[in-house]
Structure 1
Amino acid sequence: MDSIAFYLLLLFSITAVAIPPTSSAATIGVTYSTPGSISDSVQLSPDKIAEKIVSMKIPAVRLLDSNPAMIRAFAYTNVSLFLSVPNPLVPLLASNRSLAMRWVYRHVLPFYPRTKISVISVGNDAISYSPDVSPFLLRAMQNVHLSLTDLRIYKISVSTTFSFFNIVPTAFPPSAAQFQQPNGEVIIRPILQFLERTNSSFLINLYPYNIYRSNFPIPIGFALFEETPFNFRDDLTTGVRYRNLFDMMVDAVISSMAVMGHENLPLIVAETGWPSSGIDAGEVDATMLYSEMFLRALLTHLRSGSGTPLRKEGVSEVYVFELVEKEAKQGIRNWGLLHHNMTSKYSFEFSDGGETRRFKELLIGFVVEVVMLYLLM
């Protein structure tokens, strides 16, 4: 029996080393918006898009235009949906509670819970694109939240999406970051209080590419997660060393929330990515090579569950912009994971394909078989 006990202990020790403990890795999804024009050769129907997303093993999708037909297409797929209320509707939903209820009746009630809806963003970067809408954000969010509550729907959170570039004046040092005024006090503080009361998340569009382009001292490798001896920035106030621009920007948002007393709010990155082509020839770093490098490294970083220096659990969800590239037009950036005909642009798979999980399953099966053999001896 002593030898059996020894072998059993050895096998379980090997298993423990080979199978690391589960980490709090972020959910990684994509954004999708219905294209203005569709290629003659490919019909991008909602069912086709949903089928493609399921085949790619993508667990979450942000629908930028919340098309009801698209919401319906995800019924029974277990793909989590992040819905959006367009900016022009925000003042209407704020001023009229019945209109908010009508929006919920059209976009949520017919599909939930067969379609897994997790978040509703009331407006998207309104401070930048629709500044006149900003004063109506909180009231519209409250009306949508109350409409869901009236229908006894409690598991869908309501928030709004901000853009890092437009609310955080500087990313470095993260410890000194604060929301830009007067919007910080007038718009963002009351929204943070609402999010705290309703157990909702702060939503942020966060593009390292934009910060890199606006700040030339940042080396390209720091923006692309490259592991080299000189790719770091030290926050001298906290003594924290940053190895990539993404974590620095996330921690700048966390510090900005902390200044207002809401440092523990969950954080969702509603959009991020790196363009594969730019608006003009001047965008020399908007290339397929850099786009693939950024996306590969981002996915690896998020799946590691290592979080950021200021928040060990990191962000809860990240949405890559975007699933399908728009048809090529001059003067627009291209971000898609797929060409507009739905073929892949990149050599890597968005999903890890379950290789790690299959390895663990095989290893556990092997250990169980060996244990059973020893017990039968």
Structure 2
Amino acid sequence: MEALLKLSVLLLLSLSSILSAPIATAAAVIGVTYTSPLTSPPPTSTGGNSSLPTPPPPQRARPEAIAAVVCDLRFGAVRLPQPDPNLIRAFTFTNTSLLLSIPNALLAPLASNRTLAVHWLHVHVLPFYPRSKIAAISVGEDAVAASELPFLLPAIRNVHLALRDIGIRSISVSTTFSFINIVTTAFPPSAATFKEPIGEAVIKPLLQFLEDTNSSFLVNLYPYNMYRLHFQIPLGLALFQEGSFNFRDDFATGVRYRNLFDMMVDSVVASLAVAGHESIPLVVVETGWPSSAADGNAESDANPAYAELYLKSLVAHLNSGKGTPLRKEGVAQAYIYELVEEADPKQQLQQQGAHNWGILYPNMSKKYHFDLSSASKNGTIASGRLLLLFSIALSYLLFL
């Protein structure tokens, strides 16, 4: 009996220490964006000399090759801003979650014509689902222009209803916004709200729709852009680096932030809370760090070393399952932008303000080396210890 009492005390003390320790939640799903290249290059000037040969069109990777490399890199999800049906078909039976986008040009037609929404689904979804794991559709991309906003919510609702019309209820429908266009501030996160008038007129009814349909809020979130806009932000804070000055304190909440990504995520979380929908899942649809920029002198921080450091640190942070100070489960998914570098990066960089974001070269070889497969098991450590402890206790009792 005395042995049983000692065992009970030991069990309670161990259980107390386990439960009092910080427990990480499940790691976020890490995805990648793949933007299909144009079928032909943009027009180029020959300087009036017609004898110069016309450059050949860029080689497009076969859809099967794209699907294979995504699986090899162990990405759990892929975002397709230009959802080519052949590409969707290539992900058949891969268990890779797909996020499809509908272009802004279709917002007005979709808003007034549900039949068009059904037609789009018949081309991009119905032939492949559920063999291709289509999980969500983003209706529009950063549609904040005055000419687009009136059509956004009606288009979203029509796509949602069209999915019901064809008997599909497990694909969620949302839209994507850029952080910089909709959130008032990144610091302090507790002071963030959605910008007006878009907050009250569009985002608030959108959030009610997302809550009613169990869908996620989608946002593009670039610490690089925020760092470039606010030079008082330390570079190390944007790159997840520990350092004497690489932190910011939110005095309203008493939280110390050690990376800019979490600050921006929590700014969105705070904005959702102010709007009355703090529990809606959050998906980061785009994030990344450029390896080069059109103006390399002005943007010296756009370089391969920093890009690789950001991606490695981001992956480690997401895999840790630690979440953010205001949302312990963190983001549900985060998509790295972009899978493949432009076929002609020099030509692409000639565009004003352009950057190279690809993590693969055009020949599909790796530009960086980081491992997506080492998802943290911290979320199961406590439960594993607890199960082991109870097993030992039970075995001991059986042999008393």
Normalised TM-score (structure 2): 0.81
CA drift of 1:56 comes to 1.4
CA drift of 1:275 comes to 0.4
Question: Which whole-Å deviations, capped at 9, do the CAs of 1:193-212 have from their partners, x for residues lacking one?
Answer: 11111110000000000000
SS in 2 for 1:184: helix
Q: Does 1:140 align with 2:155?
A: yes
Instruction: Give 1:184's aligned residue.
Output: 199
293, 298, 301: which is aligned to 1:285?
301
Contact persistence 2:107–2:155 (CA under 8 A): yes
Instruction: Give 1:206's aligned residue.
Output: 221
Instruction: Give 1:33's aligned residue.
Output: 35
Instruction: Give 1:165's aligned residue.
Output: 180
102, 116, 124: which is aligned to 1:85?
102
297, 302, 311: which is aligned to 1:295?
311
Contact persistence 1:42–1:341 (CA under 8 A): no
CA drift of 1:169 comes to 2.4
Instruction: Give 1:224's aligned residue.
Output: 239
CA drift of 1:348 comes to 2.7
Question: Which whole-Å deviations, capped at 9, do the CAs of 1:232-276 have from their partners, x for residues lacking one?
Answer: 101111111111000000000011111110011000000000000
CA drift of 1:41 comes to 8.5
SS in 1 for 2:313: helix
Say how many residue pairs are matched. Answer: 349
Instruction: Give 1:23's aligned residue.
Output: 25
Q: Does 1:337 align with 2:398?
A: no
324, 327, 343: which is aligned to 2:340?
324
Contact persistence 2:27–2:376 (CA under 8 A): no
Q: Which amino acid aligns with 1:29?
A: G
Report the aligned-residue RMSD.
2.8
Contact persistence 2:174–2:216 (CA under 8 A): yes
CA drift of 1:54 comes to 1.1
**Rg bigger for which structure?**
2
Question: Which whole-Å deviations, capped at 9, do the CAs of 1:87-122 have from their partners, x for residues lacking one?
Answer: 101111111010011111111111100000111000
Q: Which amino acid aligns with 2:357?
A: W
Q: Which amino acid aligns with 2:125?
A: V
Instruction: Give 2:262's aligned residue.
Output: 247
Instruction: Give 2:6's aligned residue.
Output: none
Contact persistence 2:110–2:155 (CA under 8 A): yes
Q: Does 1:347 align with 2:369?
A: yes
For structure 1, the 5+ residue unaligned runs are 3-12, 361-366, 372-377
Instruction: Give 1:150's aligned residue.
Output: 165
CA drift of 1:350 comes to 4.2
Question: Which whole-Å deviations, capped at 9, do the CAs of 1:302-340 have from their partners, x for residues lacking one?
Answer: 000000000000000000001101121333211111001
Q: Does 1:256 align with 2:271?
A: yes
Q: Which amino acid aligns with 1:257?
A: L
SS in 1 for 2:64: helix
Identity %, equivalent residues: 57
For structure 2, the 5+ residue unaligned runs are 4-13, 41-55, 382-387, 393-400
What CA distance in whole angstroms lies between the structure 1 residues aligned with 2:376 and 2:112? 51
SS in 2 for 1:323: coil
Q: Which amino acid aligns with 1:174?
A: P
CA drift of 1:22 comes to 7.5
What CA distance in whole angstroms lies between the structure 2 residues aligned with 1:258 and 1:201? 14
What CA distance in whole angstroms lies between the structure 1 residues aligned with 2:229 and 2:122? 43
